[in-house]
Structure 1
Amino acid sequence: MNKADDIQQEALAMLRELVRIDTTNPPGRELAAARYIAGIAEAEGIPFELVETAEGRGNVIVTLKGREPGPPLILLSHLDVVGAKAEEWKHPPFAGEIADGYLWGRGTIDTKQLTAMELMTMLLIARRKLVPRRDIVLIATADEESGSEFGLKSLLKTHGELFRNADVVSEGGGFPIRVNGKTFYLCEVGQKGLCQVKFTYKRVPNANPFYPENAGMRSFAELLRRIAAANWEGEVPKTTERLLAELLAACGQRADGMALDVRIDYLREKVSPLFGRMIKAMTESTIALTMWNGGRSRRELIGEYEATADIRLLPGVSRQEVESRLNALCEGLGIDFEILVCQSGYDSGAEGELYEAIRAAIAVHAEGAKVVPFIATGTSDGRYLREYNSRVFGFSPVLAEDMTFEQAVTMVHGVNERISCDSIGFGTATLHEAVLHYGLGGERHD
């Protein structure tokens, strides 16, 4: 066994232990996983801090001190996972079993694998007694899957300045796609915003039950029709334009003069329908009804109708624009709306030291592959760091030979979540390379 194999096996062993610690959220119970990480840091002589936020819940911070002051490099991940029904899985979701060259279990893609890779990176730097330019800080949090109240949001109240102007490696990217025989690794540099809305019909008493007034039902049917037909186009983010241009160039096509829909359709055929839908969602804000309750019994004179909707906003879309769009949707229907949550999207841009370090690392460990930026259509803890001027890059790389983009995406929160053992080695080596390139001033240290 060579050194690379040893590193892969150690990272794999840590991931297996993390998978075996059931942190299904709710209820979470992430503190056990945080203590496991703290125990490893303590054994290696690396300073750490456990931050307990509720009974059985908490975050862990592990710090490699740098030689210069300034914003740190933060390696962020979360320890909680969504639920899993064991009877639906080929291998038990919390057993950490290895079969067919893969480690099976909840969290192997979202996102305990990133925790293990980041922790292994910290250990390798510490063991070689390398001193980075500035602090490198691993932060593994609780509660990301349920709103982060006991995780990052709580941590920001006590450690918020740690994130000020920091570069952050987080989840959301690192999945490979193949375009015209070429491999591209997606690096998340931004996220769409999240808006949640409740619609309510203005209840009107019906004077005669024998002549029912179904205005509420008709109004919501029309609202559904308007939502389905809604076209919420806006200015396409520069990052999305860059993604389209780079992928089209790989096919010998120029984006100049090609209509947006034509470009998307072309890449849908070249990559996959799923990827085509994802790119389409990167070019516009979207709204989808998520729940609808309403009606009345035969003897009731008043019907009650409510619905909720999920809106994903392009970076730069304001709350005022959302309100204007919702007013137009509800006009003339007797339906009121209430905005429950409205969080702006962000775009860190495909530039800067950390992005260049990620590109350099892929050039070393995935010969011929390129890194391309994208705006995620989902959300993660990165959304809470916008006010701290953090630059968040989602990158947890897996081997292109072992997992397609479609497989990776469908396993997030899905059945039979797994990662190849070789991908743990590849991901750790690539992340370690990127951190060294960034943290040691662009030097490469074999």
Structure 2
Amino acid sequence: MGDMMMDVVELTRRLVSFDTVNPPGREAEAMRACAKLLSGAGFTCRDIPMGDGRSNLLATRGLTDGKAALGFTGHLDTVPLGARDWRFPPHAATLSDGCIHGRGTTDMKGGVAAFICASLSAPPPPGGIALLITAGEETGSDGARVMVDAGGLPTIGALIVAEPTLNRAVPGHKGALWLRLSAQGVTAHGSMPERGVNAVMCMAHALAALDGIDLGATHPVMGAPTLNLGTIHGGLNTNSVPDFCEATLDLRSVPGVSHADLRAMISARLGPDIEIEPLIDLPAVWTDPAHPWMAAITAHSAAIAGAETVPSAASYFTDASIFTPALGEVATMILGPGDPGLAHQTDEYVSVDRLNEAQSIYTAAISDWNGSHL
């Protein structure tokens, strides 16, 4: 990866050329390419494995005792390609009309390339820089959990998450609590239903109790918590009493409502016959936009990218759900060059102008950093 890889366009294209569709992920080779580039520039790189062909990367430079590093995070896995044909081959990283086309350009290899390039071009600030590059984000922040559980994260004073925002400064996102519900019954012939216990009817009665449930306080920017019944499956055939039924719920939470409380609320409504198992449990993330560091990042975003400064929340969740609490609820900003409307889409792309803007915003953030714990 020669010196040209310090160019944000070339590095984005290089990262997109790695097929890291998750599942299965296979992020390790892309992580090694990043580590080679960073270690050659004086970063200390630590590989944190998570199974066959998969790993996470912690890269640090300029860490200082008694001071906190500025943190950047992004993931290198991507979602599957989908069934539709792509205009350009999804891993060719084709440069056309001022954009790079391919899977992961927007979500979020362009963001990772931008913060790596900013970190390489700017001298380390007081407290240093820490890059937390993850695998397995798309399946529920698996890599971020592995990194936290592995221990040894440096003291980080604030965190920039390079997920797609069109370089707008976004101070948080809703949490996600996905629950699998199951009901057990007793099978019998459909002509003699009295001899069985109908698990589907049991589930239907329980789910009806969720209608109109109050999930708690609204947030001034994020609005209200939400609940969606996503799937329901039960029964084997028409002429048998079903002995099992399963449903999934997608709850999106806001700050001030704990997931433990949400789960207890749902459980109380459903009653004792429904078992509940969490599938994804990622809390909401929010930092007051008036916080001085947040305000400074917002000002850079407006000056460099012309982005709006009215606070908003991302509709997706990020690895900040894992990292922000683990780092001590540090100030966290979501800001990246990708277009959130293109994430997970066929013919995903990222604008070269947005990549350059993101690198400039991140460079300004590094230049501002004074090593304090925010």
TM-score tier by shorter-chain length is: 0.7 to 0.9
CA distance in 1, matches of 2:292, 2:41: 28
Map of 2:301 onto structure 1? 362
Map of 1:395 onto structure 2? 335
* 1:388 aligned partner, one-letter code: L
Structure 1 residue 414 corresponds to structure 2 residue 329: no
Superposition CA RMSD, Å: 3.0
Aligned CA distance change for structure 1 residues 36 and 161 (closer, same or farther; 3 Å)? closer
Shift of residue 105, structure 1, vs aligned partner: 0.7
Structure 1 length as normaliser, TM-score?
0.73
Map of 2:244 onto structure 1? 304
Structure 1 residue 112 corresponds to structure 2 residue 109: yes
Residue deviations 1:131-174, cap 9 Å, x none? 4111111221111112343x222221233542x55311113453
User: Is the 1:169–1:394 Cα contact (8 Å) retained in structure 2?
Assistant: yes
Shift of residue 204, structure 1, vs aligned partner: 4.4
- Residue pairs, 1:245-394, within 5 angstroms: 282-297=222-237, 300-327=240-267, 329-330=269-270, 335-341=273-279, 342-366=281-305, 369-385=307-323, 386-389=325-328, 390-394=330-334
Identity percentage of aligned residues: 25
Shift of residue 116, structure 1, vs aligned partner: 0.5
SS in 2 for 1:430: helix
Structure 1 residue 142 corresponds to structure 2 residue 135: yes
Aligned CA distance change for structure 1 residues 167 and 211 (closer, same or farther; 3 Å)? same
Aligned CA distance change for structure 1 residues 439 and 111 (closer, same or farther; 3 Å)? farther
CA distance in 2, matches of 1:118, 1:77: 9
Structure 1 residue 99 corresponds to structure 2 residue 99: no
* 1:422 aligned partner, one-letter code: D
CA distance in 1, matches of 2:242, 2:56: 49
CA distance in 1, matches of 2:291, 2:302: 17
Map of 1:272 onto structure 2? none
Aligned CA distance change for structure 1 residues 158 and 290 (closer, same or farther; 3 Å)? same
Name which of 166, 172, 175 aligns with 2:157.
Answer: 166
Shift of residue 287, structure 1, vs aligned partner: 1.4
Residue deviations 1:394-442, cap 9 Å, x none? 11146xxxxxxxxx3331111111011222112211221222123589x
Aligned CA distance change for structure 1 residues 212 and 394 (closer, same or farther; 3 Å)? same
Aligned CA distance change for structure 1 residues 439 and 55 (closer, same or farther; 3 Å)? farther
Structure 1 residue 18 corresponds to structure 2 residue 18: no
User: Is the 2:169–2:297 Cα contact (8 Å) retained in structure 1?
Assistant: no
CA distance in 2, matches of 1:218, 1:170: 44
Shift of residue 296, structure 1, vs aligned partner: 4.4
Map of 1:236 onto structure 2? 218
Structure 2 gap ranges (5+): none
SS in 2 for 1:146: coil
Give the structure with the higher percent helix: 1
CA distance in 1, matches of 2:247, 2:19: 34
* 1:210 aligned partner, one-letter code: S
CA distance in 1, matches of 2:227, 2:31: 37
Aligned length: 365
* 1:90 aligned partner, one-letter code: R
Aligned CA distance change for structure 1 residues 172 and 420 (closer, same or farther; 3 Å)? closer
Structure 2 length as normaliser, TM-score?
0.85
Map of 2:125 onto structure 1? 132
User: Is the 1:173–1:186 Cα contact (8 Å) retained in structure 2?
Assistant: no
SS in 2 for 1:139: strand
Aligned CA distance change for structure 1 residues 354 and 32 (closer, same or farther; 3 Å)? farther
Q: Which has the larger radius of gyration?
A: 1
Shift of residue 186, structure 1, vs aligned partner: 4.3
Aligned CA distance change for structure 1 residues 318 and 49 (closer, same or farther; 3 Å)? closer
* 2:191 aligned partner, one-letter code: F
Moved more, 41-50 or 139-148: 41-50
Aligned CA distance change for structure 1 residues 409 and 230 (closer, same or farther; 3 Å)? farther
Structure 1 gap ranges (5+): 1-5, 177-184, 241-281, 399-407, 442-446
Shift of residue 15, structure 1, vs aligned partner: 0.5
